Structure 1
Amino acid sequence: MKVRIRMLAVLLALSMLSVVEADERAPLTYDRIDLASVARGEVQNDILVAILSSEMEGPKSAALAVEVNKAIAKAVERAKQVPEIEVQTLGYQTSPVYQKERISGWRVKQSIRLESPDAGKLGGLLGELQSQLHLESVGYETSPQKRKSAEDGLIKEALGAFRQRAELVTRELGRSRYRIVALRVDTGGAPIRPMALGMRAMAAEAAVPVPLEAGTQNIEVSVSGTIELQAD
């Protein structure tokens, strides 16, 4: 029994010693303060984006696919004739049409996406294509280059505000200097997507003008971090 007690005492002492050594190796984290700052601004939209589609219904899906493909191919070819307009084909869908819980036919649909910094040229092309395709949505977005430039300016502003707060806290707590031990920069404000128009009934009419204003987007940059006050 005495031997067991001695062994337990030795193990307990070793355990306490290792805890003390671990504490000595751990970095000291006192005098640490969490801070945050935010910078907000606006960025001008500069890219007009439109989604158009060709959709047909009938008894034979293969025949429908041929007609839809022709309409989309013709629109793509026309769009490529305007260098300022980028064109992209989107999803292709074939779905059954039901009548009294039985398949009575098929619906085939394919869409294209057009975008351009030249709203006048894209608007003119939309006027041409509306006689053949459905205009599903149209609206403005901000180009990645323009958004990045605006965010870079807000990052500088937010970092400056963070430093000012860090210096204020340091002075008010009677210290002369600090160091940053952690820092995080986040950008916010999702891009505005094209607005749905519900243009199916108007698609058969020729060159229906769509009034559009480029407008702006709100963007935000937040900086959060931890500072450690240091003794003189």
Structure 2
Amino acid sequence: MKRVKGFITSGILLLVSALPAQAAESTKPEQQVSFSVQVSRQVERDMMQVVLYAQQSGKTLKEVSPIVTQKLNLAVEEAKKRQIQTGMTNRRTNISYDKQGKASGWIDYGEITLESQDFTALSDLIASVSEQLAVQNIRFTLSDQKKQSLEKQMTEEALQAFKQKAELISQNLQTKGYQIANLDLGSPSDLGVDSQPVYYERKAVFSSSEAPSMQVESGLADLKIQLNATIYLKND
């Protein structure tokens, strides 16, 4: 039993004595390099968003509110026919005052948002309800499907660009490869940024008699994705 115990003890001593040598090897300095790569793309916005509004004034809310509701419902009905998405964005009532500052009645105001990738159908809808609702603004953005697709494609491109640049640095500095220390990859910028909204006066500028449909330009979105990296260059 004593011999066995002595063998185990000596083995532990050997391991401990070997640790300083291993620690010395692990502390050998390595070259560290930080750099960034960027991928950019210009794409056409594929989603059109329109805000229509109705406003009515009168002596009582009972008089004005049904009129505004009827006009907003008309937009909903027309949107359903064309499979256009709708959403209420704002509905408010305010007291109106006369020149002497006395309450003289009520103002009812309501907005509805319409959204579609079918620009022609949405333009036709605007014309069809132009006698009842006016255009508050029109803007263009990217659909969720296009956002997801672009983010996947641009992320793959950014990672490929990182790999090529890391290998180029390693080759030119004549090292034996590299090891990733840190990667910081952001999401494509401007994916959710709309083009500048186009505002219109209260009058129905898209009346059915003047313009049965309007021609629209969605514009282009400039997308960028940046990857910041730090690598260690292998010397052996």
- The normalised TM-score by structure 1 is 0.77
Check the 8 A contact 2:138/2:199 in 1, yes or no: yes
Amino acid at match of 2:44: Q
**Pair 1:60-2:60 in alignment:** yes
Check the 8 A contact 1:49/1:194 in 2, yes or no: no
Q: What's the offset of the Cα at 1:100?
A: 5.2
CA distance in 2, matches of 1:171, 1:104: 81
**Pair 1:198-2:197 in alignment:** no
Where does residue 224 of structure 2 map in the other structure? 220
CA distance in 1, matches of 2:150, 2:37: 17
Q: What's the offset of the Cα at 1:188?
A: 0.5
**Alpha-carbon displacement from aligned partner over 1:6-43 (angstroms, at most 9, x marks no partner):** xxxxxxxxxxxxxxxxxx9xx97853222111010112
Amino acid at match of 1:137: N
Q: Unaligned stretches of 5+ in structure 1?
A: 1-23
Check the 8 A contact 2:30/2:234 in 1, yes or no: no
Amino acid at match of 1:91: N
**Pair 1:150-2:154 in alignment:** no
**Pair 1:167-2:143 in alignment:** no
Q: Unaligned stretches of 5+ in structure 2?
A: 1-22
CA distance in 2, matches of 1:171, 1:78: 64
Q: What's the offset of the Cα at 1:201?
A: 2.2
Q: Matched residue pairs, number?
A: 206
Q: Say which is worse superposed, 187-196 or 48-57, in terms of deviation.
A: 187-196
Check the 8 A contact 1:43/1:150 in 2, yes or no: no
CA distance in 2, matches of 1:100, 1:156: 67
**Alpha-carbon displacement from aligned partner over 1:166-223 (angstroms, at most 9, x marks no partner):** 2222233331111112112111114325723313123584353433123321111111
SS in 2 for 1:39: strand
Name the Cα RMSD after superposition: 2.6
- Which residue among 220, 225, 235 is the counterpart of 1:231? 235
1:97-176 matched pairs, under 5 angstroms:
97-98=96-97, 99=99, 101-176=101-176
Check the 8 A contact 1:141/1:194 in 2, yes or no: no
Q: Say which is worse superposed, 145-154 or 48-57, in terms of deviation.
A: 145-154
CA distance in 1, matches of 2:31, 2:102: 73
Check the 8 A contact 1:87/1:112 in 2, yes or no: yes
Where does residue 211 of structure 1 map in the other structure? 215
Where does residue 7 of structure 2 map in the other structure? none
CA distance in 1, matches of 2:46, 2:34: 38
Check the 8 A contact 2:58/2:106 in 1, yes or no: yes
CA distance in 2, matches of 1:230, 1:171: 11
SS in 1 for 2:203: helix
Amino acid at match of 2:171: R
Amino acid at match of 1:131: E
CA distance in 2, matches of 1:179, 1:62: 73
- The normalised TM-score by structure 2 is 0.76
Could you tell me the percent identity over the aligned residues? 24
SS in 2 for 1:63: helix
Where does residue 184 of structure 2 map in the other structure? 184
Where does residue 49 of structure 2 map in the other structure? 49
